[in-house]
């Protein structure tokens, strides 16, 4: 039997084994009062009492040892457990210092997330140097504007849109350095002053701050006829095949459309959303329809287009929202972005009855802010009987990528093209993949003799990055505002820009010289 001995006090020891715990006097220790075998206080002759039913058992006796104990054993300590680290002990301990550290950690995390979603300030001088260094990107197209047939040169390369020339100054020409002896010492008072001539000299020739760019009057935007197959022969590599279902379908010109309210509403705006984006939909209902005069409200319809969700809770909530507002279109297939949602929407539009058929229908994202007064000014001047494709190709990957297409942030079609896509009944492989580029590729399969009219609004639409798309009364749409507060903030900035220019943010707006003509960059420079 294995025993363990441990000295507890003078003259005592604990003997432990599997079945019993007892105390015994140490042999040879006569200093303890109970160390002698004949010194038991409860026995007449000092001997230990025998075990019997009538034997005296003190209250501190432990079993199953058959004899009573002369002394009470010390309490047994629990088995030792692994000691937690000092960090865990600090976390578990409630103290003001711990609470303060947790508060600082939360504040640092929140601050980092806030900085991530903030609009980034870009070094405009570095942006200008990069732009001056090379006009073409890595994919063989300009970063924000690919070429097109009507602007292509002999080598097939497109040019960037015309930018108002910067006023010429003497600082544009290189200055001859002065001798060192002729230089006068600079005073300390001028250290913090920025010399306008020095700033002008440091600015690249012909460069303009994109945020200060002034657009031409919106009324000058007109569609132009374009041969979209030009890109097939000039570098496009994907989506070049002809789709037999579209080639064999009735021509778009066979579907009549009249520019009359009796035919149907002027414009149907489809905001692509998801079941979970109910907050953004509420924001668009309040702020996104601003600028639409009550007299024209019936001619402009809004629909939020969503697919089926696998979450029944979101489906139930979406149904309640549909019953309340009546402006949600739920397509009968799973929610997706590049798996046919756009084509199914256009098919739904093309199947509407007479009187409900829109003259124009456009697809947009819920992170896009549409400037309705400018958008409606452009749409109202179009002829719905033509094959019209409008939007922006600014920033699209066209050369060495896809045929010509409008970016998916906001683009639309006239009724003949919508009906043509509906009756063609495309197969799945003909509409899946990148939805905006796929939409542009459909028009390569137009029947012979069909003319295509394109309204490319270029820099009037684009991603909100703080530099490339100016915010003024000429802007048509801004994209990529994922957070609700940023979307609302950009919308308010657009409306304030109109107010600063003395314009009323509404369509149709009063005819006035101030509303019809926008100042150019030269006028702004002369005024300054």
Helix, strand, coil abundance in the chain, percent, nearest 5: 35, 15, 55
| pLDDT at position 256 | 95
In a domain, 140, yes or no: no
**Is 362 within 8 Å of 412 (Cβ atoms)?**
yes
Maximum CA extent, the chain: 133
| pLDDT at position 154 | 37
The mean per-residue pLDDT over the stretch 4-30 comes to 46
The mean per-residue pLDDT over the stretch 115-122 comes to 69
| pLDDT at position 161 | 37
Residue with tokens 């939360």: 106
| Residues 492-525 as b or e (16 or more Cβ within 10 Å = b) | eebbebbeeeebebbbebeeeeebeebeebeeee
Lowest mean pLDDT segment, chosen from 152-156, 289-293, 385-389: 152-156
Among candidate residues 376, 443, 81, the one with its CA nearest the CA of residue 232: 443
Please report how the helices 341-350 and 415-424 are oriented relative to each other, as an axis angle in degrees rounded to 10. Answer: 110
**Number of structural domains found in the chain:** 2
In a domain, 235, yes or no: yes
The model carries a pTM of 0.62
Residue-wise pLDDT for 486-511, tens only, equals 999 999 999 999 999 999 999 987 66
In a domain, 503, yes or no: no
Query: In the 8-state DSSP scheme, what is residue 102?
Result: H
Residue-wise pLDDT for 153-191, tens only, equals 333 333 333 333 334 444 443 443 343 344 344 444 444
Which carries the bigger pLDDT value, residue 442 or residue 397?
Answer: 442
| pLDDT at position 72 | 61
In a domain, 432, yes or no: yes
Among candidate residues 461, 471, 462, 458, the one with its CA nearest the CA of residue 214: 471
The encoded tokens of residue 383 equal 């002829």
The mean per-residue pLDDT over the stretch 99-109 comes to 88
Asked if residue 193 has pLDDT above 90, the reply is no
In a domain, 144, yes or no: no
Rounded CA-CA distance 369/286 in Å is 12
Boundary of a domain, candidates 458, 485, 520: 458
Rounded CA-CA distance 154/285 in Å is 49
In a domain, 350, yes or no: yes
Lowest mean pLDDT segment, chosen from 81-85, 235-239, 286-290, 293-297: 81-85
Mean pLDDT of the chain: 75
Boundary of a domain, candidates 76, 91, 122: 76
The mean per-residue pLDDT over the stretch 293-321 comes to 94
The mean per-residue pLDDT over the stretch 286-293 comes to 93
Asked if residue 281 has pLDDT above 70, the reply is yes
Q: Following CA atoms 404, 408, 411, 412 in sequence, which dihedral angle do they give, to the nearest 10 degrees? A: 90
Among candidate residues 408, 390, 280, the one with its CA nearest the CA of residue 345: 408
For residue 467, name the pLDDT band (cuts at 50, 70, 90): confident
**Is 442 within 8 Å of 425 (Cβ atoms)?**
no
Rounded CA-CA distance 373/288 in Å is 11
| pLDDT at position 198 | 57
List the domain range (segments joined by +) for residue 48. Answer: 1-76
Rounded CA-CA distance 142/131 in Å is 10
In a domain, 314, yes or no: yes
The mean per-residue pLDDT over the stretch 347-366 comes to 95
Asked if residue 478 has pLDDT above 90, the reply is yes
In a domain, 209, yes or no: no
| pLDDT at position 87 | 65
Among candidate residues 410, 243, 255, 422, the one with its CA nearest the CA of residue 344: 422
Which carries the bigger pLDDT value, residue 162 or residue 254?
Answer: 254
| pLDDT at position 230 | 84
Q: What is the CATH number for 260?
A: 3.90.550
The mean per-residue pLDDT over the stretch 318-339 comes to 94
Asked if residue 356 has pLDDT above 70, the reply is yes
| pLDDT at position 304 | 98
Boundary of a domain, candidates 50, 76, 102: 76
Which carries the bigger pLDDT value, residue 401 or residue 325?
Answer: 325
| pLDDT at position 439 | 96
């Amino acid at each position: 039997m294995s025993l363990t001995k441990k000295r507890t006090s003078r003259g005592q020891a604990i003997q432990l084994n599997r079945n019993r715990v007892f105390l015994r006097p140490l042999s040879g220790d006569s200093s303890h009062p109970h160390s002698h075998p004949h010194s038991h206080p409860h026995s007449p002759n000092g001997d230990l009492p025998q075990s019997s039913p009538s034997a005296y058992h003190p209250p501190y006796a432990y079993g199953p040892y058959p004899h009573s104990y002369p002394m009470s054993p010390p309490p047994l300590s629990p088995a030792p457990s692994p000691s937690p680290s000092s960090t865990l002990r600090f976390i578990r301990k409630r103290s003001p210092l711990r609470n303060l550290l947790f508060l600082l950690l939360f504040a640092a995390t929140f601050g980092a997330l806030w900085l991530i979603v903030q609009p980034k300030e870009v070094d405009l001088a570095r942006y200008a140097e990069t732009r001056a260094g090379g006009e073409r990107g890595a994919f063989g197209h300009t970063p924000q504007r690919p070429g097109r047939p009507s602007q292509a040169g002999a080598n097939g390369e497109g040019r960037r849109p015309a930018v108002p020339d910067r006023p010429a100054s003497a600082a544009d020409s290189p200055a001859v350095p002065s001798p060192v002896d002729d230089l006068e010492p600079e005073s300390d008072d001028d250290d913090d002053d920025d010399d306008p001539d020095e700033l002008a000299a440091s600015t690249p020739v012909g460069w303009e701050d994109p945020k200060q760019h002034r657009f031409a009057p919106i009324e000058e935007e007109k569609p132009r006829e374009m041969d979209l197959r030009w890109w097939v022969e000039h570098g496009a590599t994907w989506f070049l095949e002809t789709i037999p279902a579209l080639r064999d379908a009735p021509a778009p010109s066979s579907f009549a459309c009249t520019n009359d309210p009796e035919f149907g509403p002027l414009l149907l705006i489809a905001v692509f959303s998801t079941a979970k984006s109910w907050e953004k939909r509420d924001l668009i209902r309040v702020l996104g329809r601003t600028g639409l005069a009550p007299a024209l409200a019936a001619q402009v319809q809004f629909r939020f287009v969503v697919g089926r969700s696998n979450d029944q809770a979101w489906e139930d909530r979406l149904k309640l929202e549909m019953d309340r507002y009546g402006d949600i279109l739920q397509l009968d297939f799973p929610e997706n972005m590049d798996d046919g949602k756009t084509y199914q929407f256009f098919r739904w539009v093309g199947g509407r009855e007479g009187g409900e058929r829109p003259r124009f229908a456009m697809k947009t994202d819920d992170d896009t802010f549409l400037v309705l007064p400018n958008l409606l000014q452009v749409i109202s001047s179009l002829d719905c009987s033509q094959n019209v494709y409008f939007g922006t190709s600014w920033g699209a990957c066209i050369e060495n990528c896809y045929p010509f297409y409008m970016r998916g942030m906001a683009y639309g079609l006239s009724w003949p093209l919508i009906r043509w896509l509906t009756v063609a009944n495309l197969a799945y492989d003909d509409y899946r993949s990148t939805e905006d580029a796929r939409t542009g590729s459909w028009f390569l399969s137009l029947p012979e003799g069909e003319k295509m009219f394109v309204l490319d609004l270029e820099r009037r639409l684009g991603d909100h990055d703080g530099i490339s798309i100016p915010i003024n009364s000429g802007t048509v749409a801004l994209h990529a505002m994922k957070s609700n507060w940023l979307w609302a903030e950009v919308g308010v900035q657009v409306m304030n820009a109109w107010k600063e220019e003395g314009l009323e943010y509404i369509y149709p707006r009063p005819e006035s010289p101030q509303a019809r003509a926008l100042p150019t960059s030269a006028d702004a420079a002369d005024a300054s």
